[in-house]
Amino acid sequence: SQWLGMGRQLLREEPVFREAIEDCERAMRPHVEWSLVEELGADEAHSHLAEIDVVRPVLFAMQVALAALWRSWGIEPDAVVGHSMGEVAAAQVAGALSLEDAARIICRRSQLLRRVSGQGAMAVVELGLEQARELLAGDESRLSVGVSNSPRSTVISGDTSALEELLRQLEGRGIFCRRVKVDVASHSPRMDPLKEDLLLALEGVAPESAQVPIYSTVTGETGDGSDFTASYWVRNLRDPVLFQGAIERLLEDGHAV
């Protein structure tokens, strides 16, 4: 989703967007040693968007700043939903998290992921959720469903060699599959070693009741985010992303774009 140069024109031409980015930078400053504004302006030789502990906070800031810009144009959300780490921005935009708490969550979450970098992989496959679960039956110790995106798109997460073996099998059956460009197995048991440190890092996060409904891709439920404490954000990293179910529920409740 990221690309070199994103946000630059908005930084130059939209004061509301720039102010929101600068607010994010101040909120992130206690947790990072790099500048958000400088990163958005960096050329290819100096960009760090390939680093997991940089790109995810940058994307968070982009999401928050875009929402602020749209609100300045009179566009208000009737509900929010976030995909994986996008739930942090969604919760902040909805009012469940302060900007300071949201910045701490995304920065510390991203920094801890560096510890398991290179220890797993993810791949998208053209299968539904139940088809993917059946495919992985008996091999759950190595592979698991990481993301349910749509009736024909699921992400598998886990051991790199096991995943490569699975992809070869799927290719042989003519089923579309492709590695995701990450070297971590988010939303799988591979995240378990980070649990205690993430809980400690997010101690004191104090969610409030949001002004708009939040469709959780962790629990599959709709709520106000008042229970989005540290333990919720551990689940956000460890548990499957139930995006398809959240979108279906949004549609059932009458929401549209």
Token pair for 252: 């059932």
Statement to judge: residues 12 and 59 lie in one domain: yes
Burial classification of residue 118, based on how many CB atoms lie within 10 Å of its CB (0-12 exposed, 13-18 middle, 19 or more buried): exposed
Statement to judge: residues 15 and 86 lie in one domain: yes
Does some domain include residue 111? yes
Query: 205 CB contacts (<8 Å, ≥6 apart)?
Result: 97, 101, 104, 105, 228, 229, 230, 233
Q: What is the CATH number of the domain that holds 75?
A: 3.40.366.10
Q: Would you tell me the crossing angle of helices 86-94 and 99-113 to the nearest 10 degrees?
A: 170
Statement to judge: residues 110 and 146 lie in one domain: no
Residues in the chain: 257
- Count how many domains the chain has: 2
Q: What is the CATH number of the domain that holds 168?
A: 3.30.70.250
Burial classification of residue 219, based on how many CB atoms lie within 10 Å of its CB (0-12 exposed, 13-18 middle, 19 or more buried): middle
What whole-number distance in Å separates Cα of residue 72 and Cα of residue 103?
Answer: 22
CA distances from 6 to 37, 61, 75, 237 (A): 11, 11, 21, 25
Does some domain include residue 157? yes
Note down pLDDT in tens along the chain; length 257 residues.
786 777 899 999 999 999 999 999 999 999 999 999 999 998 888 888 889 999 999 999 999 999 999 999 999 999 999 999 999 999 999 999 999 999 999 999 999 999 999 999 999 999 999 999 999 999 999 999 999 999 999 999 999 999 999 999 999 999 999 999 999 999 999 999 999 999 999 999 999 999 999 999 999 999 999 999 999 999 999 999 999 999 999 999 999 87
Query: 222 CB contacts (<8 Å, ≥6 apart)?
Result: 79, 213, 214, 215, 216, 249, 253
Statement to judge: residues 85 and 40 lie in one domain: yes
Q: Tell me, what's the pLDDT at 3?
A: 67
Statement to judge: residues 102 and 172 lie in one domain: no
What whole-number distance in Å separates Cα of residue 120 and Cα of residue 190?
Answer: 7
Token pair for 124: 């998208």
Residue with tokens 């709709």: 222
Does some domain include residue 223? yes
Does some domain include residue 3? no
Statement to judge: residues 215 and 147 lie in one domain: no
What whole-number distance in Å separates Cα of residue 143 and Cα of residue 5?
Answer: 35
Statement to judge: residues 105 and 32 lie in one domain: yes
Statement to judge: residues 178 and 201 lie in one domain: no
Q: Tell me, what's the pLDDT at 129?
A: 97
Range of the domain at 129: 120-182
Does some domain include residue 169? yes
Statement to judge: residues 72 and 26 lie in one domain: yes
Statement to judge: residues 111 and 175 lie in one domain: no
Domain boundary among 182, 217, 234: 182
What whole-number distance in Å separates Cα of residue 65 and Cα of residue 28?
Answer: 14
Statement to judge: residues 14 and 78 lie in one domain: yes
Q: Is 124 helix (H, G, I), strand (E, B) or coil?
A: strand
